[in-house]
């Protein structure tokens, strides 16, 4: 067992990953635990192919293996990137969640509605592609990978008219004011657990787990539990055209979940409310409801 004089936080090397891990380090230090960053290179950092082609866990598996091998004490993930199946080697804590909504960054300050006919919009996420095509079937959707600056740069250079990014990432690197539109989650559903971080430590590391529990946020934990249970019961990976958004209010969780066809013509969306302690069951039940309505056929045809 390593000394707890300084917890090593495993993170990807992008500006966003280092920034959000820096926020975790600051929170740990405020709670009396010294922390330092350890940079881990993942497959998603070196392979610019579409994420769904590289595989689920492209941004997280290397971090998990580094944690398992003792190269770091805590792995800091964007929760939406984690595979939905739990890994018994680790214990997971969810800290305070930031704004999970989707954002548009467009030329000339345009909104999605104001983009011209046939505008070129960059995104490689099937969930975003399907919802964009449903909202604006005329758009020319272009594949897009890279960090925030790279993606935004394609708009600034004129290569693209707009890109869609998570507002959480923009906000964490102080670029939230660059968004020309931030979508209501009921208009453009975000990824399950978008805006949340997942902090993992080894299952046998009680000291690291005790430190992480000081950062645990019950509402964020319940909401992301519902969203990821919905995703898991659909047997869909984090790159599938599946979206979910949960909110907490007075001990209850309201979950909205959706499954979309990549061509934008198929859409199943429903919601339900249950006590926070039933978050996981509610996620599974909402998924079962959509499966009964044909969600499996939509996902199967896209695969």
How far apart are the C-alpha atoms of 101 and 152, rounded to whole Å?
Answer: 17
Structure tokens at 27: 């929170």
Contact 270, 230 (CB under 8 A): no
Count of positions (residues) in the chain: 303
Residue 151's nearest CA partner among 104, 194, 111, 185 is 104
- Concerning whether 69 is annotated as a catalytic residue, the answer is no
Q: Which residues lie below 8 Å from residue 229, measured CB to CB, with a gap of 6+?
A: 279, 280, 281, 282, 283, 284, 287
Write down the catalytic residue from 81, 161, 205, 302.
81
Contacts of 259 (CB under 8 A, 6+ apart): 234, 236, 241, 242, 267, 268, 269, 290, 295, 298, 299
Query: Residue 24 has which token pair?
Result: 């975790």
- Catalytic site positions: 81
């Amino acid at each position: 067992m390593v000394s707890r004089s300084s917890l090593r936080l495993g993170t990807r090397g992008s500006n966003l990953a280092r920034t959000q891990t820096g926020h975790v380090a600051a929170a740990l230090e405020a709670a009396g635990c010294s922390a330092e960053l350890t940079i881990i290179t993942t497959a998603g950092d070196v392979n610019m192919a579409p994420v769904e082609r590289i595989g689920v866990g492209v941004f997280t598996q290397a971090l998990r293996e580094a944690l398992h091998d003792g190269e770091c004490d805590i792995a800091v993930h964007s929760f939406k990137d984690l595979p939905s199946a739990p890994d018994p080697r680790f214990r997971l804590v969810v800290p305070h969640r930031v704004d999970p909504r989707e954002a548009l960054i467009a030329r000339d300050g345009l909104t999605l509605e104001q983009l011209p006919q046939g505008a070129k919009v960059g995104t490689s996420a099937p969930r975003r592609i399907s919802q964009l095509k449903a909202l604006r079937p005329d758009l020319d959707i272009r594949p897009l990978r890279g960090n925030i600056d790279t993606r935004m740069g394609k708009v600034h250079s004129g290569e693209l008219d707009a890109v869609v990014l998570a507002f959480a990432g923009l906000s964490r690197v102080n670029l939230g004011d660059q968004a020309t539109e931030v979508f209501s989650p009921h208009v453009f559903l975000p990824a399950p657990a978008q805006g949340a971080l997942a902090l993992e430590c080894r299952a046998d590391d009680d000291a690291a787990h005790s430190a992480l529990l000081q950062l645990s946020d019950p509402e964020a934990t319940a909401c992301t539990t519902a969203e990821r249970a919905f995703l898991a019961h659909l047997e869909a990976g984090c790159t599938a055209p599946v979206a979910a958004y949960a909110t907490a209010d007075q001990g209850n969780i309201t979950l909205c979940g959706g499954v979309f066809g990549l061509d934008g013509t198929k859409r199943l969306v429903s919601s339900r409310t249950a006590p926070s302690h039933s978050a996981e069951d509610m996620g599974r039940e909402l998924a079962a409801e959509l499966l009964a309505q044909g969600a499996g056929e939509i996902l199967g045809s896209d695969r």
